[in-house]
Structure 1
Amino acid sequence: MTRPVDARTDQYVEDVVALDPLTATFAGIAGHDDRLPDLSPAGFDAREELDRRTLAEVRAIEPTDERERVAKDAFLERVGLTVEKAEAGFERSAFSVISSGVHAVREVFDLMPTETTEDWQTIGDRLAAVPDALAGYRETLSAEAAAGRLSARRQYAEVASQIRGWTGQEGASGDYFGNLVADAPAALRDRLAEVAAAASASYADFGQFITTDLAPRGRDRDGVGRDRYALESRYFLGAEVDLEETYRWGWEELKRIEDDMAATARRIVGGGTVDDAVKALDADPARDCGSREAFEAWMQEKADTILASFDGVHFDIAEPIRTIQCKVAPINDGGAWYTPPSEDFSRPGTMWFSFTDDHELFSTWRETTTVFHEGVPGHHLQCAQVVHRADLLNRWQRLLCWISGHGEGWALYSERLMDELGYFEDAGDRLGFLDMQGFRAARVIVDIGVHLGLTVPTDNPFGWRPGEVWDGDLVLEFMRRHSRMEDGQLGFEVNRYLGWPGQAPSYKVGERIWLQARDELKARKGTGFDLKEFHTAALDLGSIGLDPLKAALARL
């Protein structure tokens, strides 16, 4: 059967990776790893024109069946919002501590294989392209700044500091690019050292450009305002929500979670507070791996065990998906993330964890829930399942479509599922789960609050700063009060929220919509509802906006 939606969107994949080799590598599409994209205004023009043209063509196609109907809806929602953001002038100037052209170029090298001489030659070719790529990006940011489209000053300053860390000017990580090629074959080492040094020097120069040219012109205000925030929220969720209602719900949800935390803490230290329980857990040597290497091994064992026990019980897990790698990242920026497998599964799905320079404890009680979130049953079962289901999903759905609210909402749903299934019977691990749940609820509050310029409710359940208007300082103070995260990691997190509007709430709001979708299906199916069937049906839709997800599930 001819599938016109699939055919057109599959061609779009080829067109995208030809213009953007970074996307090819992140998606695991072979044949483009020696190049970098054109990050100049001309490069952005070409990619935006491709989006607009393909969007119009797909809109005119009549789907052949329900599967293509879902695929078309997903494409129109996702690429349509990408075009809308570009036309609003937000895309080219977007610059934050977690999302920018300089981040994408550096991060892609983490995913490149190093097993063969040919692999190292490919790395060398891509390293040699770094100076030109950054020069083009500098041209773009300069043009955006001249047009008055600038990010907040805070973001420029923090990214400049990150670059000094990557280039060995600051911190303990050393020169990222020099370290990258240190183990290259002897026959290639001189050439690789040369292009690595040039890449590092171009990064250092770019960091100076940020400091001297962009930071002084950056916005004083961290918040982006209602119009931009509403669009960013729709982009990250794939759904339109009432922002004020969601803000109020965030306060209620945080109070619910923290009440549960207080009760759980008393199981750890009789009559004690959450802080008492945290102190006791951190002092317990049985909960400290002691080193990065031991922590990596612990993550791997935990993920492998869940994979083995879940197959055929709560999920149907195909053979290629039964492999996951867990790694400590070679940088010290902080955070945890997941990268999907390559298209042919030669690169397995990988959970990454990054420690900041000031990290001292390698505790398991804090991060058991992270393994469930980033690994199994979270992102790994979600993303690897999508890559695997070529029989159900077209290539664009499998490799290029990602909606934060769907993906991160699923990962939080997975943490909640593990609690429902009894995997947090240990009070310490459960406190870690609740701590992260509360952390994500607090992010809903601060993200919407600071970017919309809202006031702290006078009747907020914590009696905290009633009536004050949110700003960056209040965000940091609030997050300190409602998390147990180390200061270095927390500082990065707060800067992330301030510079990436709408993304942080997509976790908890996404979970809320996933749970609503499950409850609605359960109510409709009654005794015929089966949890494993729900998981299979939902994940087999691929990454999809949360509004289209609910619509598709309603048709089951």
Structure 2
Amino acid sequence: MRTILLLAAATILIAPAMAAAQPVAQAQPAPGKADTRLKAIYDAEWDWRLKEMAREEDEEGRDIASDRMPRVDAASQQRRLAYWTKALADVRAIPKSDLSAEEQVNAAVFETMVEADINDIRYKNYEAPFNSDTFFWTSFTPRQGFKDAASYRRYLGRLRDVPRYFDEETVNMRAGLARGFTVPQVSVTGRDKTIEPYLQTGEENPLYTPFKDMLASMPEAEKARLRAEARQVIDGQAVPAYTKLLAFIRDEYLPKARTNIGASTLPDGKAYYQAMIEKFTTLKLTPAQIHKIGLSEVARIRAEMEATKQEAKFEGSLAEFMTFLRTDPQFYAKTPHELLADASYWVKKADLKLKDTIGFLPRYRHGILPVPPALAPIYTGGRGGLESCLFNTYNLPARPLYTLPSLALHECTPGHSFQAALALEGPDRPAFRDNIYFSGYGEGWGLYTEWLGTVMGIYETPYQNFGRLTYEMWRAVRLVVDTGIHEYGWSRDRAIAYMKENVALSDHEITTEVDRYIAWPGQAVAYKLGELQIRRHRNEAEEALGPKFDQRKFHDAILALGSVPLPVLEARMKQFIADGGENPPRPATAP
């Protein structure tokens, strides 16, 4: 049984192991059998990786969390660095021309993944283990209950391990403070408040959430035992660990965090920023090239915005139109339910159009939920996932309804939640490929689906189309702002001003986004670069294939790959055109 794709904003987070392991099997396959050699390397690496991540496989072969938290201490990081350096060298020693077509893809994915893992450790990203909206202290909080008692017991094991895990993270952060490698102070001010809910005891603690939603079929006596044990572990071990962490973050880390914001000001900062760009985009583009692309896209989209403003019959400048959109009550929900209901409408409208848009449709369906209250004040407007698609109902005057169609397409269907369902039901691949996420591919597809909404007939008013353009402009502006901050020394105020000039988002959203770019160098540029490449591939296919072009087959060709580096997507699209717009027979899905 294949494992489930874990959606995240970067390559999968790898946790260190309890014990050392050898990178590859010692026994070498017969000479000349390149596929066998490669498979031996990545299969061994996956088994090792599960231990490093504190993960295991369930009875269906799905990747699940074990009964402990990962090790994140410096010694474990260095052991991983040695392992991956050896594994990468072993793969690169295999002549690619000797590999089958499928194994060439596997090799490219593996190399890109491991190279990113290596760079994360070389630059010691683990010494700054959180950013403006993603926190190690909230990342393991379940949204709902577990499927069986064994899963609850594993979860309780993880909670018992929280004190050790937090202590290791704290040691790492102190090392980062000592060398000036921290999350920028301005981008994480106030984020300590996300720890406060975890100081509550008993059933009010967010960690208790899964015990409020236990299976009806589970015996009542077992439920009672597990709930009692949960209250004991949360109160006795987790709450003291969170209390200690909050004191460190609030009293030591935040006051001493760096006040400069550009990645290029960090130790070996220029090389570090280039490595992060390549990690997230999987492309060999320089900051200067990306900045230039961003300026060009901003100019193009601005012209489309002017045309849409005219379509809306608004008399006034583009700046005045943006002010109107930011401030007129007609564009904002009055209750959280209204926003969630509106989001649900757009998801269902997209569902109606799927049969004409994509050939292979998964059976799995996601739900719509609000962002948890503990995260909502500093969280993005929405985020997709296999089980549910989240929408932020905090501060409703900052959540315009005219951007909801684009947000629903990107995060839910046919964007990230849809991608996750496809991964669940797709063809068998090596386990490491089912648990990797490349932002250039995944976020590129998400942004492409926002434009695809114009083809699907999703947008109903000029305001909603302007909302789409606002989101596209937002991603184009990122190319300018991210490189401006991390390569050209822009201040936070300059970045905010540039966004306000070009994007019809609320002041709250703009500030939150700029802080995210400050804290997460390179990640934000992947969206637009991936989307531009997919739209280019579509234009090339339409021009080359003419009436033979079928967008369902085109989209299947992209989605059937799974998450891959953008150069791999480029090669696949060339083959798609060469094959006359046809795809090979779809492999059987895993049972």
Give the TM-score of the pair, scaled to structure 2.
Answer: 0.79
Which of 333, 336, 351 is matched with 2:389 structurally? Answer: 351
Whether 2:371 is the aligned partner of 1:329: answer yes
Which of 253, 274, 290 is matched with 1:214 structurally? Answer: 253
Which of 274, 297, 312 is matched with 1:230 structurally? Answer: 274
69 and 183 in structure 1: CA distance in 2 versus 1, 3 angstrom threshold: closer
Query: Letter of the aligned partner of 1:142 in structure 2?
Result: R
95 and 289 in structure 1: CA distance in 2 versus 1, 3 angstrom threshold: closer
Which of 243, 268, 272 is matched with 1:204 structurally? Answer: 243
**What is the Cα deviation at residue 6 of structure 1?**
4.4
Query: Letter of the aligned partner of 2:289 in structure 1?
Result: E
CA contact (8 A) 2:77 2:121 kept: no
DSSP 3-state at the match of 1:352: strand
Q: Which position in structure 2 is the counterpart of 1:434? A: 469
CA contact (8 A) 2:336 2:396 kept: no
Q: Which position in structure 2 is the counterpart of 1:39? A: 72
Whether 2:506 is the aligned partner of 1:476: answer no
Whether 2:433 is the aligned partner of 1:397: answer yes
**What is the Cα deviation at residue 137 of structure 1?**
1.0
Query: Letter of the aligned partner of 1:551 in structure 2?
Result: A
DSSP 3-state at the match of 1:504: helix
Which of 23, 44, 47 is matched with 1:14 structurally? Answer: 47
Whether 2:174 is the aligned partner of 1:142: answer yes
Larger mean CA deviation between 420-429 and 326-335 belongs to: 420-429
- Name the CA distance, whole Å, in 2 between partners of 1:36 and 1:420: 45
- Name the CA distance, whole Å, in 1 between partners of 2:78 and 2:431: 24
Larger mean CA deviation between 268-277 and 224-233 belongs to: 268-277
DSSP 3-state at the match of 2:458: coil
DSSP 3-state at the match of 2:271: helix
Q: Which position in structure 2 is the counterpart of 1:408? A: 443
- Name the CA distance, whole Å, in 1 between partners of 2:78 and 2:57: 19
Query: Letter of the aligned partner of 2:145 in structure 1?
Result: P
Which of 92, 102, 113 is matched with 1:78 structurally? Answer: 113
Which of 558, 569, 574 is matched with 1:549 structurally? Answer: 569
Instruction: Give deviations 1:495-526, integer Å, cap 9, x for gaps.
Output: 11001011111111221122223333444445
CA contact (8 A) 1:410 1:514 kept: yes
158 and 550 in structure 1: CA distance in 2 versus 1, 3 angstrom threshold: farther
387 and 505 in structure 1: CA distance in 2 versus 1, 3 angstrom threshold: same
CA contact (8 A) 2:381 2:399 kept: no
Whether 2:408 is the aligned partner of 1:371: answer yes
Q: Which position in structure 2 is the counterpart of 1:516? A: 536
- Name the CA distance, whole Å, in 2 between partners of 1:278 and 1:487: 11
CA contact (8 A) 1:266 1:277 kept: no
Instruction: Give deviations 1:200-221, integer Å, cap 9, x for gaps.
Output: 4422321321233333443221
Instruction: Give deviations 1:74-110, integer Å, cap 9, x for gaps.
Output: 11122123213322334443542134xxx24422223
Whether 2:196 is the aligned partner of 1:176: answer no
258 and 68 in structure 1: CA distance in 2 versus 1, 3 angstrom threshold: same
Give the TM-score of the pair, scaled to structure 1.
Answer: 0.83
166 and 368 in structure 1: CA distance in 2 versus 1, 3 angstrom threshold: farther
Q: Which position in structure 2 is the counterpart of 1:296? A: 340
- Name the CA distance, whole Å, in 2 between partners of 1:272 and 1:383: 43
145 and 483 in structure 1: CA distance in 2 versus 1, 3 angstrom threshold: same
Q: Which position in structure 1 is the counterpart of 2:27? A: none
Q: How many residues end up aligned between the 2 structures?
A: 520
CA contact (8 A) 2:335 2:396 kept: no
Kindly report which structure 2 residues correspond to 1:495-514, keeping only aligned pairs within 5 A, or say none: 495-514=515-534
CA contact (8 A) 1:152 1:219 kept: yes
Larger mean CA deviation between 36-45 and 479-488 belongs to: 479-488
394 and 320 in structure 1: CA distance in 2 versus 1, 3 angstrom threshold: farther
Which of 419, 423, 429 is matched with 1:386 structurally? Answer: 423
CA contact (8 A) 2:273 2:486 kept: yes
- Name the CA distance, whole Å, in 1 between partners of 2:109 and 2:226: 45
Q: Which position in structure 2 is the counterpart of 1:55? A: 88
CA contact (8 A) 1:96 1:159 kept: no
**What is the Cα deviation at residue 112 of structure 1?**
5.7
Whether 2:299 is the aligned partner of 1:255: answer yes
In structure 1, stretches of 5+ residues that fail to align are 342-347, 455-469
CA contact (8 A) 1:38 1:136 kept: yes
DSSP 3-state at the match of 2:367: strand
- Name the CA distance, whole Å, in 1 between partners of 2:262 and 2:301: 27
- Name the CA distance, whole Å, in 2 between partners of 1:90 and 1:175: 29
**What is the Cα deviation at residue 256 of structure 1?**
2.4
**What is the Cα deviation at residue 46 of structure 1?**
3.8
19 and 242 in structure 1: CA distance in 2 versus 1, 3 angstrom threshold: closer
Whether 2:306 is the aligned partner of 1:239: answer no
Instruction: Give deviations 1:149-173, integer Å, cap 9, x for gaps.
Output: 333233454433433466579xxxx
In structure 2, stretches of 5+ residues that fail to align are 1-32, 215-222, 265-269, 577-591
281 and 248 in structure 1: CA distance in 2 versus 1, 3 angstrom threshold: closer
CA contact (8 A) 1:369 1:433 kept: yes
Larger mean CA deviation between 239-248 and 183-192 belongs to: 183-192
Larger mean CA deviation between 201-210 and 531-540 belongs to: 201-210
Instruction: Give deviations 1:343-384, integer Å, cap 9, x for gaps.
Output: xxxxx4x3222344x334665322110000111122233333
DSSP 3-state at the match of 1:326: strand
- Name the CA distance, whole Å, in 2 between partners of 1:60 and 1:337: 43
**What is the Cα deviation at residue 55 of structure 1?**
2.3
CA contact (8 A) 1:145 1:214 kept: yes
Query: Letter of the aligned partner of 2:372 in structure 1?
Result: P
Which of 476, 483, 486 is matched with 2:506 structurally? Answer: 486
Q: Which position in structure 2 is the counterpart of 1:153? A: 185
**What is the Cα deviation at residue 277 of structure 1?**
6.8
Kindly report which structure 2 residues correspond to 1:447-486, keeping only aligned pairs within 5 A, or say none: 447-453=482-488, 470-486=490-506
